[in-house]
Structure 1
Amino acid sequence: MTYTPVDNAVDSSSAARQGAADYPGLDDWRSLPIAQQPSWRDHPGYDAAIAELSMVPPLVFAGEVDILRDRLAAAAQGKAFLLQGGDCAETFDGATADKISARVKTILQMAVVLTYGASLPVIKMGRMAGQFAKPRSSNDETRAGQTLPAYRGDMVNGYDFTPESREHNPARMVRAYHTSASTLNLIRAFTQGGFADLRLVHHWNKGFTSNPAHSRYESLAREIDRAVRFMDACGADFEALKRVEFFASHEALLLDYERALTRIDSRTGRPYDTSGHFLWIGERTRDLDSAHVDFLSKVRNPIGVKLGPNTKPEDALALIDKLDPEREPGRLTFITRMGAQNIREKLPPLVERVTASGAQVLWVTDPMHGNTVTSPNGYKTRNFDDVMDEVRGFFEVHSSLGTFPGGLHVEMTGDDVAECLGGADPVDQEAFLEGYESVCDPRLNHMQSLEMAFLVAGALSRKD
């Protein structure tokens, strides 16, 4: 991995150290190698942005984080399944009520398919309300002879290819906070105010174009309706069906932002990163001696780590020792992103060694990032068949080893975009010309997301 020198990457000013009271070791990351950080140390608005983020209310609360840890512990024990989905990179302009509701609706639909098909509780988690920054393979981008900083997500700079837009601006962190707050407010209204009532499963499908996946979903919804009517006739209390738990997650990439939103919990005296319930470390930033691993080892949130095909069993064991030294169920999730061609060969040694160590991590598949290709007409895309094959391989590996495939992590949207090739109603590369909307990586559209949910539900039900 290539790291930016520390003295060029991290501000150690007093403003940067605000956000949580002093806690032993919480700022050790500042002296460690750190990758994928913006070059905004000397920006005149840096101190003001950090100071403001250090004083704003938390986006999530420590009690909610603790509940999620309990839910993930159940999944690690094979008693629940994690469904985590959302945009590759959220945008400020995309944080509209329609787009947020469509995304939440699709995740709820997928969860219903999984719950009903597998008879297993599903933990619902969005890549939402904080996924505004992305690691990049290059610091710069060149077009027509002009070289500018690469787009690193709306929390850092703009997508428009101009010097003004591509400047790394710390004020964008403050806008990301407020956009996340409004997104979470809407999610809570949807999931706690009756929108997510299980008796409304038919309504979640309205407004979407008719296609094979929706027809299959409608059939399942009718079965649920019949079951609900039966329970109603038996006098069942439906209060529990009116609302659902929904958690927010993102990659903890920008440590300036994460540190500024870290607070000390008054109940326990421990630090919680209140920017989201669940945070993960990416494949590019998971070096054991890096700033990202050190910082996230100090907060109480459940932590995920992306593991690619070059991960060695020793790497996984060292990460467990660093991030989960107390071997606490629900604390650590390994999100594997191997690629369809590697999953059946590369995953078994990791699972075998981790299982033999006695650690109880949650295993989740990310079938998206290892299957990225470029289409003949130049678009970054993924073949749906490859994505599905990695999911199948993930389940096959765990079935052969007698371990539990505990979750699914996908980049998806509730919109009918055209970004990934294939599916039951096939997307071809010509559809990209009008339907490609992602500013970063390609996402499954609504129909493809439902197709995947039916595949996973079938794989889970066969484990019984």
Structure 2
Amino acid sequence: MSDQQNPPRSQSHQYVHAGQSQPGAAVYPGLDDWRSLPIKQQPEWTGHAAYEQTIEELSALPPLVFAGEVDILRERLASAARGEAFLLMGGDCAETFAGSTADQISAKVRTILQMAVVLTYAASVPVIKVGRMAGQFAKPRSSSEETRGDVTLPAFRGEIVNGFPFTPGDREPDPSRMLKAYHTSASTLNLIRAFTTGGFADLRAVYQWNRGFMSNPAHAKYESMAAQIERAVTFMEACGTDFEALKRVEFFASHEALLLDYERALTRLDSRTSLPYATSGHFIWIGERTREIDGAHVDFFSKVQNPIGVKLGPTTTPEQVTALIEKLDPERQPGRLTFISRMGAGKVREVLPPLIRAAQEAGAQPLWITDPMHGNTVTSANGYKTRRFNDVMDEVNGFFEVHKELGTVPGGLHVEMTGDDVAECLGGADPIDEAAFEDRYESLCDPRLNHKQSLELAFLVAEQIAPERGRSAAAES
């Protein structure tokens, strides 16, 4: 959602329906070609009694985001690809309906804003703030079924598809859940808009929150940088800076657009340009499991105007990167395509360089960002899926090292995190150990950094963005 600097542009766009389920609706050429292509990670529910009615209702509902906002984000991402901004994207691995409360939404937004202040100061460029929120309800699974003992049921695919409890009724895919996901996303977006335009994001408040983080002796090594930020804010106040303008921030919403029935039903044509936009979120991405060049997801994404991302894992080849560029960004549009590297700490330094070179040879300038979470998943001794904070940071370091060596732009950070005091990832300066999982492990899918770990990551990344400043801060502390 855009801030108040651009209201005329945002309001100049309106949508018309692009769904075939609406009589007389506009249809964009090729928008439904994906239906005849191989498709993965989809539930079996087209024969469900509620399927047709759900698609019809979704197709008639108002858009969740607007074309003007999407276009603004594309411009911001183009700046990041040129090194003139930095992207911070964070949020839940899988949102839940029950977890979409005011307190939990505000905690996530607050944590992202806190991280952004640290990164903005270090980089001396704007930080684009994007939440994995208001749509991150679907999750890919390694198997379509789950077996416990002698009982086999459909795998949990996120609350937009089925329920987490291991019962036949809960695990049965239910298309009407897409309506619940839509309305939960709408209420989440409304609250985020209120937070980011109504004073919650005031820069002075955000730096006060970070002072609370610094009160923990475990974070003393970041005290120097925090003190520098505080002096900068104090200086701005003394100079008469208009803090009214600094009470509002741009904040955008993203998710993995995994469930194509949902995404297609929420696709609309912009009345100004007659081009299709996926109105489920500002930024949508294709996951590692669904990025086949001849698959349904890549085809559908190639038809919408949103800025889009593609996750690239350790098996990605330069040829695949070239093919994805040709399919998803044939006109080399600035800000159109983001590659999200998720290699694992032990592989990023080896696998990433040839992929970046392939993009250069293709004449493209995608935004490169790192997802240091998904390639570093392990199982703890007591049976929990987890990640080690040191591995996460090592992949971030490797990402920056590769770009420094190649002279290219390390444009952003994509993390699974929460604003709550959970215990899901091991380590950190105020360490989480395996014993804490028994009482504070809350994720339904993948482990997330908690509030303190997220802020610590921001301070460590800040040292990478501004190494001279980082070394100075380390020396002072």
Q: TM-score w.r.t. structure 1 length?
A: 0.94
Number of aligned pairs? 451
Cα deviation 1:110-141 (Å, max 9, x = unaligned): 00010012212100000000000000000111
Q: CA deviation at 1:242?
A: 1.1
Distance (whole Å) between structure 1 residues aligned to residue 465 and residue 348 of structure 2: 18
1:437 aligns with 2:406: no
What is the aligned partner in structure 1 of residue 87 from structure 2? 82
* Structure 1 residues 70-149: aligned runs within 5 Å: 70-149=75-154
1:375 aligns with 2:417: no
Distance verdict in 2 for CA 1:20–1:226, change over 3 Å = farther
Distance verdict in 2 for CA 1:198–1:23, change over 3 Å = same
Structure 2 counterpart of 1:235, from 227, 240, 249: 240
Q: CA deviation at 1:357?
A: 2.3
Q: CA deviation at 1:206?
A: 8.3
Distance verdict in 2 for CA 1:18–1:142, change over 3 Å = farther
Distance verdict in 2 for CA 1:87–1:287, change over 3 Å = same
SS at 1:201's partner residue?
helix
Distance (whole Å) between structure 2 residues aligned to residue 285 and residue 238 of structure 1: 44
Q: CA deviation at 1:143?
A: 1.2
What is the aligned partner in structure 2 of residue 10 from structure 1? none
Cα deviation 1:178-223 (Å, max 9, x = unaligned): 0000000111111110100112124435887953566667765554
Distance verdict in 2 for CA 1:442–1:83, change over 3 Å = same
What is the aligned partner in structure 1 of residue 271 from structure 2? 266
* Structure 1 residues 113-262: aligned runs within 5 Å: 113-205=118-210, 211-212=216-217, 220=225, 222-262=227-267
Distance verdict in 2 for CA 1:215–1:15, change over 3 Å = farther
Tell whether the 8 Å contact from 1:19 to 1:263 is kept in structure 2 after alignment: no
Structure 1 counterpart of 2:56, from 51, 58, 67: 51
What is the aligned partner in structure 2 of residue 69 from structure 1? 74
Structure 1 unaligned runs (5+)? Answer: 1-13
Q: Write the letter of the residue equivalent to 1:163.
A: P
Distance (whole Å) between structure 1 residues aligned to residue 414 and residue 384 of structure 2: 22
What is the aligned partner in structure 1 of residue 288 from structure 2? 283
Cα deviation 1:197-252 (Å, max 9, x = unaligned): 11212443588795356666776555444333333333332332110000000001
1:423 aligns with 2:425: no
Distance verdict in 2 for CA 1:435–1:321, change over 3 Å = same
Structure 1 counterpart of 2:41, from 19, 27, 36: 36
SS at 2:421's partner residue?
coil
After TM superposition, where is structure 1 displaced by more than 4 Å over at least 4 residues in a row?
Answer: 14-20, 205-210, 212-222
Q: CA deviation at 1:16?
A: 5.3
What is the aligned partner in structure 2 of residue 360 from structure 1? 365
Q: CA deviation at 1:18?
A: 7.8
SS at 1:151's partner residue?
coil
1:402 aligns with 2:407: yes
Percent of aligned positions that are identical: 74
1:337 aligns with 2:342: yes
SS at 2:129's partner residue?
strand
Distance (whole Å) between structure 1 residues aligned to residue 212 and residue 420 of structure 2: 10
Structure 2 unaligned runs (5+)? Answer: 1-18, 470-477
What is the aligned partner in structure 2 of residue 6 from structure 1? none
What is the aligned partner in structure 2 of residue 302 from structure 1? 307
Distance verdict in 2 for CA 1:222–1:458, change over 3 Å = closer
* Structure 1 residues 313-328: aligned runs within 5 Å: 313-328=318-333
Tell whether the 8 Å contact from 2:202 to 2:243 is kept in structure 1 after alignment: no
Cα deviation 1:297-352 (Å, max 9, x = unaligned): 00000000000111110100100000000000100000011001101100011111
